[in-house]
């Protein structure tokens, strides 16, 4: 019997999210950059309801980036400064109560 192929461990590449009753498309982009050409890890475009994510991120950095962009999408009036402050605080609180980043398929 041939060996069954397994999906690689790591985050799922979702295509959409619903945040505050609004559907957001999620784009995975290699070489994501802003209008100024500077590299970005993530980008939230309210007018288009699109969250773009740099495809080449480690799972830990991706977790940070997704949380950051979800905060932008959920709270459009929040400043970049406020989102940058909130993101690591939320991640630290989750870690404190025991949440850990575990590769998909490694749990019993």
**Residue 59 is encoded by which pair of tokens?**
């799972």
pLDDT tens by residue, 15-45: 999 999 999 999 999 999 999 999 999 999 9
Q: In this predicted model, which residue has the larger pLDDT, 106 or 44?
A: 44
For residues 49 and 71, give the distance between their C-alpha atoms in angstroms, rounded to a whole number: 13
- DSSP string of 22-87? EEEEEEEETT-B-TTS-B-SEEEEGGGTEEEEESS--HHHHHHHHHHHHHHHH-TTS-HHHHHHHH
Average pLDDT, the chain: 89
**pLDDT score of 99 more than 80:** yes
């Amino acid at each position: 019997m041939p060996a069954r192929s397994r999906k690689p461990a790591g985050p799922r590449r979702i295509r959409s999210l619903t945040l505050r009753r609004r559907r957001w498309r999620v784009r995975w982009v290699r070489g994501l950059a802003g209008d100024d050409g500077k590299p970005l890890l993530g980008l939230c475009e309210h007018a288009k309801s699109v969250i773009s994510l740099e495809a080449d991120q480690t799972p830990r950095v991706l977790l940070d980036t997704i949380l950051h962009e979800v905060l932008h999408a959920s709270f459009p009036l929040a400043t970049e400064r406020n989102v940058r402050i909130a993101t690591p605080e939320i991640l630290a609180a989750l870690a404190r109560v025991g949440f850990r980043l575990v590769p998909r398929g490694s749990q019993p």
